[in-house]
Structures are given as C-alpha cells and as structure tokens.
Structure 1
Amino acid sequence: VAAIATASISFASAAHADSGTIRFAVYKAAFFVGGSGGEGTLTFHGRRYPISVGGVSGGLAFGVSKTYFRGTVRHIKRARDVTGVYGAAGGGGALGKGAQVIVMTNDKGAQLELTGRQVGLQVNADLSGMSISLR
C-alpha cells in the first residue's frame, strides 16, 4: 500500500508541472570574452511576469548583436521555477539577420525551447551560461 501511495505522489508531482510562454531580447557584445543582458516577459497561467536576462561567455567570440527570442518554458510549477542559470553549448553566427534555435535547462528542471532572430555581426563558438531572474 505504501508503494502505491508513493507512486501516486510521484505521478501527481509530474502531472502538475506546466508550461508557459517566454519572450525576451538580448544584447550581446564580445571580443573573446563576452557579456549579454536583456529583458522580457514570462506568461504563465494567464499572468505576465517581467524578467531580466544576463550572462557571460568565453571561448572564440567576437561582435555585437541583438537577438529577439520567443518560445516555451516547460516543466515549471510556479513562475519562479524559470529563474536560475541555464547552460547550453552554442555555436553559430549571424551577419545582418540570422535565425537561432536553442534548448536549455536550469537546475530546477525548467526547459526553454526558444527560437530567435538575430540582428548584427556576431560570430561565436563558445559554451554560454544565461541567467534569468524575475524583476
């Protein structure tokens, strides 16, 4: 009986995880070491939450760009689950206008599935970390 109750609790926790939509713009500048920052909005359960985005990257990178991201955040139970540091291996470039697709996960299990439109000159082959916080 205890095993059945434990399994039910595990199923209930997974079943209550939800998803929302996210939009943000990021400005990035780099000459080997880069920095980025921006802001946007998380929409979760019909409510809008302002967010801040930032990060530092290293490796081979140079240029200046602005990228507009939008997508889905999955596996969250409350808005604050989107906060934290996200990691992803990146490699890409844009001259003028370009497109990016990225999937990242934070330490709370929140998963971002993003598409982006980049404007500017940015060439990189780096391992980047991005931080999201609620404002």
Structure 2
Amino acid sequence: MPRSHKPERMRRATAIGLAALALLLLAMPATPSFAQASGHVQVRFVKAGLLVGGGTGSGVLNYRGRNYPFKVSGLSVGITAGATVGRFDGRASGIRDVGDFVGTYSSVGGGFALVGGVNGAHLRNEKGVTIVLQGPKAGLELASNISAITIAWK
C-alpha cells in the first residue's frame, strides 16, 4: 500500500503554525495594559525625637511627565535620639494609578548621623507602591526603629 504524504503535510503545517504563533507572542508587549509604572521622587524631611521620633516634609513625584507635589509626615518608634534634616532622591515603583502613591508607608531601619552623612529609606504602602530613596542628611541622630510615614497630596 503506498504511503500517503498527508500526515507529513499536516506535521509541516502544524510546525509552521506553531512557529507563527511563537513569533506573534514574542512580538506582543511584555507587559499588559494594567502594567505598573515608576516615577521619580524628591523629598525634604525634618526629623527629631527622643525614643519616639516624628517628622514632616514635602516632595514632588514626577510621574508620566507631570509633577505631583505632596506632603509627608511620619512617626517612628524604637531607639531614636537627635534631629536631622534630609533631602532624598529616588524612585517609586508599582504605581498603577497616580492615586496609588498616597497612603501610609511602613519601614524598618536605622541609621546614624554626626553632623552629616548619607541616608536611605525603603518604604512600601498598602497599595503595593515601593519607594527607594537616598540622599544626604545633616544633624545628629542615632536611630533603630519602625516607622509609619503618611504621604498626602498638597
């Protein structure tokens, strides 16, 4: 009985179809339309305390070409002694909508400053937005604490 070429043609067609599908999938954007974006953040913050610390400041979020001024206030509980003034620069990521940026952020950390130094912060809010900041600070402080920082639009 002669062998049919139909199964061979079907295998080729299937292989070509799978290759075309793979190319189509590779050509599609890697992120869905509800993707998260990031923005640039600048913050000025003044902090003081003895055992319980508090601070206040202001900043600007640059997100998708627009500037959004905000105010920031915070409370830290733990070992805190001293007072500092800091200017921070960094990125906020995980933003799906600009409104996700405002809220209460938590942070666990510590630091030391004697006249001047470099400080950093890694914050996360309840909406999944993460802010990573670093920058110079001036003053005298010894801190090891848990912080809650609230960001609100001006």
Coarse TM-score class (shorter-chain normalised)? 0.7 to 0.9
Tell me which of the two structures has the higher relative contact order, counting C-alpha pairs closer than 8 angstroms and 6 or more residues apart: 1
Deviations 1:29-83 (A, max 9, x none): 1011111000010000110011001011111111111011110000102222111
Q: CA deviation at 1:101?
A: 2.3
Other structure's SS at 1:108 match? coil
Aligned to 2:125: 106
| 1:33 lines up with 2:56 in the alignment | no
Structure 1: which amino acid aligns with 2:128?
G
Question: Distance in 1 between the 2:121 and 2:51 partners?
Answer: 21
Aligned to 1:129: 148
Task: Write out aligned runs for 1:71-110 (5 A).
Answer: 71-110=90-129
Other structure's SS at 1:80 match? helix
Deviating 4+ runs (over 6 angstroms): none
1:12 to 19, 32, 44: 32
Other structure's SS at 1:12 match? coil
Higher strand fraction: Structure 1 or Structure 2? 1
CA contact (8 A) 1:80 1:134 kept: no
Aligned to 2:71: 52
Unaligned 5+ runs, structure 2: 1-30
Aligned to 1:42: 61
Aligned to 1:64: 83
Structure 1: which amino acid aligns with 2:32?
A
Deviation larger for 28-37 or 99-108: 99-108
Structure 1: which amino acid aligns with 2:61?
L
Structure label with greater radius of gyration: 2
Other structure's SS at 2:127 match? coil
Unaligned 5+ runs, structure 1: 1-10
1:23 to 32, 42, 61: 42
Question: Distance in 1 between the 2:65 and 2:33 partners?
Answer: 21
Q: CA deviation at 1:13?
A: 5.5
CA contact (8 A) 1:97 1:119 kept: yes
Other structure's SS at 2:32 match? helix
Percentage of matched positions with identical amino acids? 33
